[in-house]
Structure 1
Amino acid sequence: MITFSDSLRSRGRLAAGGADLAEPLDDGWWWGSSAPGQWDSPQTVLRLSQEPHWHACDGPVAPIDTLVRRLDSAALSAVHAGVRDWWLCRPLPACADRRRRWLELDGLAGRRAELWLHQVETGHQRLLLRSDSALLRHRVELPAGAADTVLWLVLRDEPVSAVGLWRPVRRVGERLAVDAPALRARLLDADRARLALRLRVHEPLLGLSMVLRHAGRRWQAPMALGALGAAAAGQGGGLWQGLLDVEAPALWWPHALGEPALHELELHALLPEGGRRVLPLGRIGWRRIAHDRPRGRLIINGVPMPAPLRRTRWVPGAQMSATEAAAQVAQARAAGIDLLDIASAGGPDADEALLDACDAQGLLIGHGLSLDSAAASAQLAQQLARWQARASLAWVRVPESVITPVMQALPESLCLSCAWSGVL
């Protein structure tokens, strides 16, 4: 069993780029409810519950209050009677091979959530995690080779409006066992840029290098294994780090000033048996942002943005695919919007799909920090990891209590104190 403090903390770009064999698990769910504490585990549910208590989710799982509206009046009155325990389950198909796999959940809407795995044939059940934050993302390793397995999600002591799977769920395997990446993209001047990357690898490698591509050009630099990890490189990897200098990079511009040029970043790993693996890390945009606070404007690559800045309040969708995010950002761009202002006051923050779309289409993002006090440190680590080297990120409104760790993870020019963030 793990707690929220062991959740997916700082994978950032590796969460998407490092995974292959990704299997969405957003549909095929059933749901039911019980009085608080009536059922303590999946085995109890299966022994005591009756089939009429269960309802099929029609399509991807959404917050349950959107599902119960389809029930008859008697069922509606039962589920709306105060707080309840909410149970969601779906079959988890067996995998064709025994590669390591993880379950990734991007958001559990509930203050007391439990994730269980139940093997139907043997009756064995296993509690995988507990979480008391709806804003955290979670990553749990699954047991290998289990067949006839059912995944259970329990959300306890909640009203119907407060629960559900409000962000995607998936089972993934990985091309390379890595975590804790730290990525910085810095524009030194108009003709020089530098990329710094540090990450921990959990398997032996003979070599690791960064490769950057754009418009037929290619840059490559080797990464070095730290002294402490070098001695154990043959047994299980270690901490790798490297610098990549880029001459005359194409600059990233917001759409009001030019084209948002992006460079493709990859990791190339040389395996002990002589094979190679390529791990995509997404796209990098080179730009420099400054805040002209007396005039209330942004300066990108030395050029002022048109004033006044055309901005709109933006609430990210609970479950947006990359296609949906790109379409919504395209609509905002067509309407002449320069910046999406995401307050994130208790709501969802911008996920990778929205960040990718804004990077690609040249829309800026201003983002607030909304920290759940129960898991503030883990949530902050996750948010900062997703914001690493994002060209579209124009500022982050930072509470005074966390401004130091944020400034250590992000360039100082991106950090706005909540006390004066209203200037822009």
Structure 2
Amino acid sequence: MGEAGFRPIARAPLAARWRICAAPPGSEQPPTEGWRECDGPLTAAAALRARGEWSLDVPPLDFDAQDWWFHASFDLPEGKRAGILGFDGLATLAEVSINGRPLLASRNMFLRHQVPVDEYLLREQGNELLIRCSSLAPELAQRRPRPRWRTPMVAHQQLRWLRTTLLGRTPGWSPPAAPVGPWRGITWCSAAEALSARVKVMLDEGKGRVEVALQAPAGWASQVEAAEVVLRHAGREWRQSLLGGEGAGRFHATVEVDAPALWWPHTHGEPHLHAAALRVMRRDGSWEEQDLGRAGFRRIVIDTEGGGFRLRVNGEPVFCRGAGWTPLDAAGLRSDPAACKTALLQARDAGMNMLRLAGTMAYEEDHFYDACDELGLLVWQDFMFASMDYPFDDAAFAESCSLEARQQLARLSPHACLAVLCGNSEVEQQAAMWGAPREQWQPRFFHETLAGLCGEHAPGVPYWPSSAHGGAFPHVADQGTTSYYGVGAYERPPDDARRSGLKFATECLAFANVPAPATLSRLPGGLNTRVHHPAWKARSPRDLGAGWDFDDVRDHYVQRLFDVDPMRLRHADHDRYLALGRTAVAEVMRAAFAEWRRPGSACGGALLLFLRDLWAGAGWGVLDDQGLPKSGWHALRRALAPVAVFVTDEGGNGLAVHAVNETARLLDAKLELTCWRADGTAVAQGAVPVQLAARESRTFPAAEVLGQFLDLNHAYRFGPALCDAVAARLVDTGSGMLAESVHLPLGMAGLCRMPRASLDMEATASLANEGEALLRLSTRQLAIGVHFDFPGWCADDEHFHLVPGARREIRLRRVDQRTSGLAGSVSALNQSTAVPVEAFE
């Protein structure tokens, strides 16, 4: 099976013809009928979906209730006999045979297997590879010791004995598509060509170092005249010859780079990468080169001073913001590299600099981490353990988990993006919430075993034992890390974002985020599926056993922000109910991050629960399952930008304006503040020059910017409120507006309760090349929650407030190629009629 610390290189996918068949549990022999052709090694759900025989929109199919058989027929390449079959992931209880001979058995879907196949087992043509994935139902029915605590996340507590993902097995938030079968690739190479490498990337005292250890098959060295490891960056090269001396078939090289260009998260600098390769000269004088990945030199440490949690990258404190990453395909758990990079670009373009792979999910494919390296996105990587009382006192289970960790560390540790290795998702928190004794909160496996393995195999990556860890109890907000739902599921007022003293949220701000009408049209029943409908509710996230769901959480904030009864509004005007829900989520997210990013905050970062939904519906994601933005994404795109401005209400101290510059360059700009009444009257305005050094933030009292005191937040109640909106802008004299924020001192309720007939809003559009359009907006009065309805088109910004006299250009892109021309409308929550807009080719 190979050594856990080495990763295979230069493996090719097995070229085979694949079939799949279901059978009753416990079937000892493959079925004689019922086989279906499939498009390669896929999960059962993905294979049936590709054939049009199953989808998430039909009644659920329990994939764990049956045995699933996978059959591959393949021929050997000419002249190749003995070889190595690679299985990068088999879910979950798998037995493999080749040409009728047993090859391997696996009980851990997260393990990789490299199996030598002797010549006598193989035929030149018509080899038969058979994989049986047994039903989990008999395993779950076995009598085993009860857990010391329970988790409401799963329907069956005995899942704790099985090394498999919780995706598809957690009713309430993941689609019913449990992954069964080969969920990762199956590869083949000849035994004579089987190379494996271990790569370590380090930065010590300003010097970069890449250590490569090579494991080669017998006889490889006799075919090689010379071999070297080469690094390349910005037109420069560094080389080091391979040396032997580590035993038969072992070679190594260390390449050093003085004062290398450093890797930074994109919000704070450039993510410089050095391409690494193995160059081999054969005896005939020909050269071959094999990719060893890209090395990024950076130093990441966790600063826990004062009970906090903050990452320092290359010595600089970094405010980490982003979201939990979910598989792009909940049924197959695979993704096309280009589609994966597109999704990651959406995260980067929203100002996010960190993604978390939670222990409820699955380890991602290599191209995910490659793209994060390239785009400057940090990765918080949980090991795939979540909430449950795992049986680490079972020796076989513990050894499988340790092997899993060693394999994943060998694969992931060279990546510059890897910022935190975390033992689990909420195990400590669940134990504490269930009332388990304190000594049970912190199993030795997470606090000793995994910590030791990470220190040995990934010395440049900090380790943290659990996603919620620190303080008197694991889920306390003002110590260490936590799952923060004060604002959100626990329905605390928005100012709890500050009052909680949050230090770092590994997940937060969960709402049932309403997507665009185009997404709602893909629900079973289409746009006629209202929020109370069973088809809607089936996809609304909830905790098992709870008497509420996250639609209720969103409705709570609609009532708080707009002073309306959401249930009555839903009865009377469902579309307005959804519009207020979208804006409420956007406003709460914006306000929370304004608090956490202001210079006086002790918060080191906050990650939303999900970036993207797992299926169409009002899920936790700020992108839908196909990547279309929701209101929260648009709000975050403004709130998370590296250069940003925020306005916060400081009570009797008035309004404060916070200017943030996270970039590596000096910011020389002007801070402008304008106070407006809703009818378009400017009450006051002022400006001050602002010079912010690289990665510097400052706070300015509004009175300082205006040059006078005004009761802008109506704290002193000296008569009627002075203004309805305060607009703060950072303006660069050369490049124009850098950042803008609109604060509504009195909130939105009064402004939106009785919408005006007209705000004197104007909107025009023109078509551009390659499926793009430009929308031009202006208004003479204050417009709240501006949003669009252009079927077949997606805007790069909406759900914003537009102050009087403002002009805005919005780019739209065509997302439905069947759409010809652009026709739709622009709306605001405080205007009763939408503004029609048309543009035709």
Fold shared per TM-score above 0.5: yes
Query: What's the TM-score bracket when you normalise by the shorter of the two chains?
Result: 0.7 to 0.9
Aligned to 1:253: 264
Aligned to 2:359: 344
Q: Distance in 2 between matches of 1:223 and 1:66?
A: 44
Question: Residue 358 and residue 100 in structure 1: after superposition, are their counterparts in 2 closer, same or farther (change >3 A)?
Answer: farther
Q: Distance in 2 between matches of 1:394 and 1:81?
A: 35
Aligned to 1:208: 227
Question: Residue 146 and residue 249 in structure 1: after superposition, are their counterparts in 2 closer, same or farther (change >3 A)?
Answer: same
> Relative to structure 2, which stretch is displaced further, 392-401 or 153-162?
153-162
> Relative to structure 2, which stretch is displaced further, 247-256 or 81-90?
81-90
Aligned to 2:91: 109
Q: How high is the TM-score relative to the length of structure 1?
A: 0.79
Matched, 1:406 2:441: no
Aligned to 1:325: 340
Higher relative contact order (CA 8 A, sep 6+): 1
1:2-401 equivalence runs, <5 A: 6=1, 9-12=4-7, 15=8, 18-19=9-10, 22-23=12-13, 28-40=17-29, 42=30, 45=31, 49-50=32-33, 53-57=34-38, 61-64=42-45, 67=48, 71=53, 83-98=65-80, 101-111=83-93, 113-118=94-99, 125-142=100-117, 143=119, 146-158=124-136, 161=178, 163-172=180-189, 176-179=193-196, 181-190=197-206, 192-202=207-217, 203-204=220-221, 205-226=224-245, 229=247, 237-271=248-282, 275-294=286-305, 296-305=309-318, 307=319, 309-317=320-328, 318-345=333-360, 347-370=361-384, 373=398, 375-398=400-423, 399-400=446-447, 401=449
Question: Residue 175 and residue 148 in structure 1: after superposition, are their counterparts in 2 closer, same or farther (change >3 A)?
Answer: closer
- Kept after mapping to 2: 8 A contact 1:339/1:364: yes
Question: Residue 83 and residue 417 in structure 1: after superposition, are their counterparts in 2 closer, same or farther (change >3 A)?
Answer: closer
- Kept after mapping to 2: 8 A contact 1:210/1:265: yes
Question: Residue 94 and residue 246 in structure 1: after superposition, are their counterparts in 2 closer, same or farther (change >3 A)?
Answer: same
Q: Distance in 2 between matches of 1:148 and 1:354?
A: 35
1:161, CA displacement in angstroms?
Answer: 3.9
Q: Distance in 2 between matches of 1:259 and 1:175?
A: 41
Q: Distance in 2 between matches of 1:281 and 1:412?
A: 18
1:66, CA displacement in angstroms?
Answer: 7.1
- Kept after mapping to 2: 8 A contact 1:19/1:174: no
1:71, CA displacement in angstroms?
Answer: 4.8
1:110, CA displacement in angstroms?
Answer: 1.8
Q: Distance in 2 between matches of 1:107 and 1:278?
A: 27
Task: List runs of 5+ in structure 2 lacking aligned partners.
Answer: 138-176, 386-396, 424-445, 471-479, 482-502, 505-841
Question: Residue 246 and residue 10 in structure 1: after superposition, are their counterparts in 2 closer, same or farther (change >3 A)?
Answer: same
Paired residues, number: 381
Q: Distance in 2 between matches of 1:403 and 1:324?
A: 34
Aligned to 2:583: none
Question: Residue 363 and residue 370 in structure 1: after superposition, are their counterparts in 2 closer, same or farther (change >3 A)?
Answer: same
Residue identity opposite 1:314 in structure 2: W
Deviations along 1:67-112, one digit per CA (max 9) or x if unpaired, are: 289559xxx99x869833221113213423316543322221122x
Residue identity opposite 1:9 in structure 2: A
Q: For 1:354, what is the secondary structure of its paired residue?
A: helix
Deviations along 1:185-217, one digit per CA (max 9) or x if unpaired, are: 222244x32222223222224543211111110
**Identity score, percent:** 28
- Kept after mapping to 1: 8 A contact 2:203/2:297: yes
Question: Residue 85 and residue 254 in structure 1: after superposition, are their counterparts in 2 closer, same or farther (change >3 A)?
Answer: same
Q: Distance in 2 between matches of 1:136 and 1:81?
A: 21
1:387, CA displacement in angstroms?
Answer: 1.7
Deviations along 1:334-354, one digit per CA (max 9) or x if unpaired, are: 111110011123x31132111
1:377, CA displacement in angstroms?
Answer: 2.4
> Relative to structure 2, which stretch is displaced further, 90-99 or 355-364?
90-99
Deviations along 1:135-158, one digit per CA (max 9) or x if unpaired, are: 112222344553012322111233
- Kept after mapping to 2: 8 A contact 1:132/1:374: no
1:402, CA displacement in angstroms?
Answer: 2.1
Q: How high is the TM-score relative to the length of structure 2?
A: 0.42
- Kept after mapping to 1: 8 A contact 2:323/2:355: yes
1:131, CA displacement in angstroms?
Answer: 0.8
Q: Distance in 1 between matches of 2:251 and 2:413?
A: 18
- Kept after mapping to 2: 8 A contact 1:252/1:285: yes
More strand by share: 1
1:9, CA displacement in angstroms?
Answer: 3.0
Residue identity opposite 1:155 in structure 2: C
Question: Residue 257 and residue 24 in structure 1: after superposition, are their counterparts in 2 closer, same or farther (change >3 A)?
Answer: farther
Question: Residue 178 and residue 57 in structure 1: after superposition, are their counterparts in 2 closer, same or farther (change >3 A)?
Answer: closer
Q: For 2:135, what is the secondary structure of its paired residue?
A: strand
- Kept after mapping to 2: 8 A contact 1:97/1:145: no
Q: Distance in 1 between matches of 2:380 and 2:202?
A: 19
Q: Distance in 1 between matches of 2:129 and 2:199?
A: 34
Q: Distance in 2 between matches of 1:211 and 1:56?
A: 44
Question: Residue 82 and residue 286 in structure 1: after superposition, are their counterparts in 2 closer, same or farther (change >3 A)?
Answer: closer
Residue identity opposite 2:194 in structure 1: A
Q: Which one has a bigger Cα radius of gyration?
A: 2
Question: Residue 175 and residue 363 in structure 1: after superposition, are their counterparts in 2 closer, same or farther (change >3 A)?
Answer: farther
Q: Distance in 1 between matches of 2:412 and 2:258?
A: 24
Q: Distance in 1 between matches of 2:418 and 2:335?
A: 19
Q: For 1:224, what is the secondary structure of its paired residue?
A: coil
